[in-house]
A and B are shown apart, each in its own frame.
Chain A
C-alpha cells in the first residue's frame, strides 16, 4: 500500500526578478513502514522536498498525498527533524520535548510521562530539567529526536540530523534511531550526504541530481543489509558493493552535469 505519494511535484523559489527551479517533476512512492534515503549534492532540493511533505512549503505544481489525502487535509502527525536541533534555549529539555503536544493542545500527564520515558530511553533522563546550552551536540540531537517522536508521527522526515556530529556520536545515534524506528514501526525519509549512512539505515535510496532537482536513480538496499544495525551493515561485504555502485553513479553525474535539462535559472543573489 502506498503511504506517501509524490506525483510530478515541482517547486520554484521566486525572488524579485528571477526564479530558481528547485524541484523538477519529482515522483516517488513510499510504502508504510519503509525507510527511504535521499542522497544528492548540496542544493539539489532535498530540504525542499522535506519541507513540502511537512506542509511548511506548498509545491508550485504536482500533488503530495499522505494516505491518499492531500497533506494539508491530513491530520496525521508528521515528525520533522532539522539539520540542527533548534531546541528552544529558554525551555528545559523536558519542555522542549513537549512542545509538539503543547502546540496541539494534547499535553496531558500521560504524555509527559511518555516524554520522560523516551528521554530515559535515549539516555537523557538526568538532564530533563537542564537547558539546551548545557548539553553536547549529540545530546541535543537526541533531545530533538524525542521532541519529534513524542507526537507519535506516522512519518519521520530527517534532514541530515547527524551531519553536525562527530563520527563516533553519529554511528551511535544512527543505531539508536534505526532501533527506535523499527521498534515503533515508523515510515521515514532520511536526507543525507553520506553514502554509508544512506546504505546502512534505509531500505531504498533515491539518488538526486541538481539544477533542477530531480531523481537520477533508485537503488534497492539488499535484504541482508536491511535488518542489520547501521554499525554492522558497514562491515557487510554487500555494503561495499552497493557503495561502489552509488559512488560511480554520483561521479557520472558530476562529470556530466549538463544532463540537467530545461532552464535552470539560478538566483542572482
Chain B
C-alpha cells in the first residue's frame, strides 16, 4: 500500500475517534442537564417536597451568596486541608508499616491476625474513641482521615513487596547485597506502581474519614455544614455542601491521577 493511502487511513481513524469523543461528551452533558432540570421541575411542581430536597435554583442562589461573601471558603479550606493531610499520613504510615513487616518475617507472622481484624473493622466506628483520645479538633479529624486508609495501604503494599520476583533479589545477593540494599534497589522500585495506585484509592477513603469526623465534632468544614443544615432544617445548605464536596473531591481525584501518571512516567 502506498504511503498516501496509509495516511488517509490514519486521518480516517482520527476522525472516527474524534466523533466518538464528541458523542460521549454530548451524552454526558445531556444527562447532567436533564438531572438538574428534572430536579428543578419536580421541586417546583411539588412532586418532591422542596423543603427536603431543595432545588437547583435555590442551591445556586445560596452558593452564589456564600461564595460572594466568602463565608463558605474557610469551610472548604479546612476540609481540603484535613483530607490532604489524612490522605498523606495514611499512605506514608501504611508504607512504613509494610516496610517494617517486610523487614522481619517473624514480625509479619505475629502481626497477621491483628492486621486481618483491623482491616475487617469499620474504621469510622473508632471515631468516638479517637475523639476521646486526641480531643475534639483538627487532630482527631485528620486521624480519622488517615486511619481509614492506613491498614489497607499496609496490606496492599506489603503483598506488593512479597510479589516481587525473588530472582531480582538473587541477582543482587550474588553481589553480596544486604537486605536493606535489596529493599532499596529492588523491592521499593518494583512496588512503586502499586504504591502509586493506592494513592487514588486512599484519597477517596480519606474523604469518608474526614467527613465522618466532621459529623462527630468540629465547628468548621463541609461535613459540619451538612450536620448544621440538617439540625436547623436547612436542606438547601445540606445539598449545597454535598455539591461542593462532589466538585472538590472530583478535582482532588483528578489531581492525584495527574500526579500518578507523572510519577509513573518519571520513575520508569
A residues with CB within 8 A of B: 51, 54-56, 77-80, 82, 84, 86, 88-91, 99-100, 102-104, 131, 147, 151, 157
Contacts and interface: CB of A to CB of B under 8 A. Distances in A.
Interface in B170-186: 170-177, 181, 185-186
B175 A56 contact: no
Given A90-B189, A91-B268, A99 B172 contact: yes
Contacts of B176: 55, 103-104
- Main secondary structure on A side of the interface with B: loop
A89 B165 contact: no
A182 to B, nearest CB: 22
Interface string B144-175: 00000000000000000000010110111111
A104 B167 CA distance: 19
Contact of A56 (B165, B170, B267): B170
Contacts of A131: 268
A249 B66 CA distance: 90
A67 B219 CA distance: 75
24 contacts: A54-B173, A55-B173, A56-B170, A56-B173, A56-B174, A77-B175, A79-B174, A80-B170, A84-B167, A86-B167, A86-B168, A86-B171, A88-B189, A90-B190, A90-B192, A90-B267, A99-B175, A99-B185, A100-B175, A103-B172, A103-B175, A103-B176, A103-B177, A151-B175
Best-buried of B173, B175, B176 by chain A (most CB within 10 Å):
B175
Contact of B168 (A51, A56, A88): A88
Contacts of A56: 170, 173-174
Contacts of B181: 103
- Main secondary structure on B side of the interface with A: helix
A75 to B, nearest CB: 9
Best-buried of A55, A100, A157 by chain B (most CB within 10 Å):
A100
Nearest to A133: B268
A263 B174 CA distance: 32
Contact of B167 (A55, A77, A82, A91): A82
Interface of B: 165, 167-168, 170-177, 181, 185-186, 189-190, 192, 267-268
Nearest to A150: B175
Contact of B170 (A82, A90, A91, A104): A82
A131 B189 CA distance: 15
Contacts of A91: 268
A147 B170 CA distance: 14
A55 B186 CA distance: 19
A203 to B, nearest CB: 23
A86 B166 CA distance: 10
Given A80-B171, A82-B170, A103 B268 contact: no
Nearest to B165: A86
Contacts of B168: 86, 88
A2 to B, nearest CB: 22
Given A54-B174, A80-B174, A90-B189, 15 more contacts: A51-B170, A55-B173, A55-B174, A56-B173, A56-B174, A77-B175, A82-B171, A86-B167, A86-B168, A88-B168, A88-B186, A90-B267, A90-B268, A99-B175, A131-B268
Contacts of A89: 268
A79 B189 CA distance: 23
